[in-house]
Amino acid sequence: QVQLVQSGAEVKKTGTSVKVSCKGSGYRFNEYAIHWVRQGPGQRPEWMGWMNAGNGNTMYSQKFQGRVNFSRETSANTAYMVLSSLTSEDTAVYFCAVVVVATPYWGQGTLVTVSS
């Protein structure tokens, strides 16, 4: 079955960067796009962008353009999201997701807490 397993919670200082990983299994990793979504406290989920896991092409939400970077390590079936210049507004749970045969699958989420 399709599974996405993310890295553990992070606590970061304002102005630094965070890197979240997402390991896929149960499907052909290279053939599907990995999406990143975040959800702030009490807020609806917010799409950050996607990456073609096969060729590495990316599309970023305008809100995060210039501050976010997606990458992948195909040999490890793992995708990464790096968000830089963190502020307290970036405190949120970050999810990776993949749509396989019209069905969305999500990782378990990674809590990123940003404090000064």
Partner 1 sequence: DIQMTQSPSTLSASVGDRVIITCRASQSITRWLAWYQQEPGKAPKLLISKASALAGGVPSRFSGSGSGTDFTLTISSLQPGDFATYYCQQYNSYPWTFGRGTKVEV
Phi-psi region at 56: left, alpha or beta (left = phi > 0; alpha = psi -120 to 50) = left
Sole binder of partner 1 in the list 22, 35, 53, 70 (CB under 8 A): 35
Q: Which neighbouring-strand residues pair with 110? A: 94
Q: Report phi then psi at 89, rounded to 5.
A: -65, -15
Sole binder of partner 1 in the list 95, 98, 112, 114 (CB under 8 A): 95
Nearest CA to 96 out of 106, 111, 110, 104 is that of 106
Which CB sits closer to partner 1, 1 or 116?
1
93 binds partner 1 (CB under 8 A): yes
Which CB sits closer to partner 1, 4 or 114?
4
Stretch that binds partner 1, among 8-16, 19-27, 40-48, 73-81 (CB under 8 A): 40-48
- The residue ranges that bind partner 1 (CB under 8 A) are 1, 35, 37, 44-47, 49-50, 59, 61, 93, 95, 99, 102-109
